Amino acid sequence: MKIKSADFIISNTDVSKCPKEQLPEYAFIGRSNVGKSSLINMLTGRNKLAKTSGRPGKTQLINHFKINNNWFLVDLPGYGYAKVSKSIKRTFQSFIKNYFLQREQLICTFVLIDSRLEPQKIDLEFMEFLGEKEIPFVIVFTKSDKLKLNELNKNIQFYKKKMTSAVWEEMPPYFITSATNSTGKDEVLNYIDEINKQ
Residues in touch with ligand GDP (CB under 6 A): 32-38, 52-53, 56, 78, 142-143, 145-146, 178-180
Instruction: Give the DSSP letter string of 95-118.
Output: HHHHHHHH-TTEEEEEEEEETTSP
Say how many Å lie between the first and final Cα of the chain, rounded. 15
Shortest separation between residue 32's beta carbon and ligand GDP, angstroms: 5
Shortest separation between residue 9's beta carbon and ligand GDP, angstroms: 19
Half-sphere exposure of 128 (CA within 13 A, CB side): 12
Shortest separation between residue 67's beta carbon and ligand GDP, angstroms: 18
Neighbouring C-beta atoms of residue 40, cutoff 10 Å: 24
Shortest separation between residue 46's beta carbon and ligand GDP, angstroms: 13
Neighbouring C-beta atoms of residue 137, cutoff 10 Å: 19
**Residue closer to ligand GDP, measured from CB, 78 or 127:** 78
127, amino acid identity: M
Shortest separation between residue 79's beta carbon and ligand GDP, angstroms: 10
Return the residue nearest ligand GDP (CB atom): 35
Nearest alpha carbon to residue 110 among 188, 29, 187, 182: 29
**Residue closer to ligand GDP, measured from CB, 64 or 143:** 143
**Residue closer to ligand GDP, measured from CB, 3 or 195:** 3
**Residue closer to ligand GDP, measured from CB, 53 or 157:** 53
Q: What is the largest CA-CA distance in the chain?
A: 45
**Residue closer to ligand GDP, measured from CB, 82 or 170:** 82
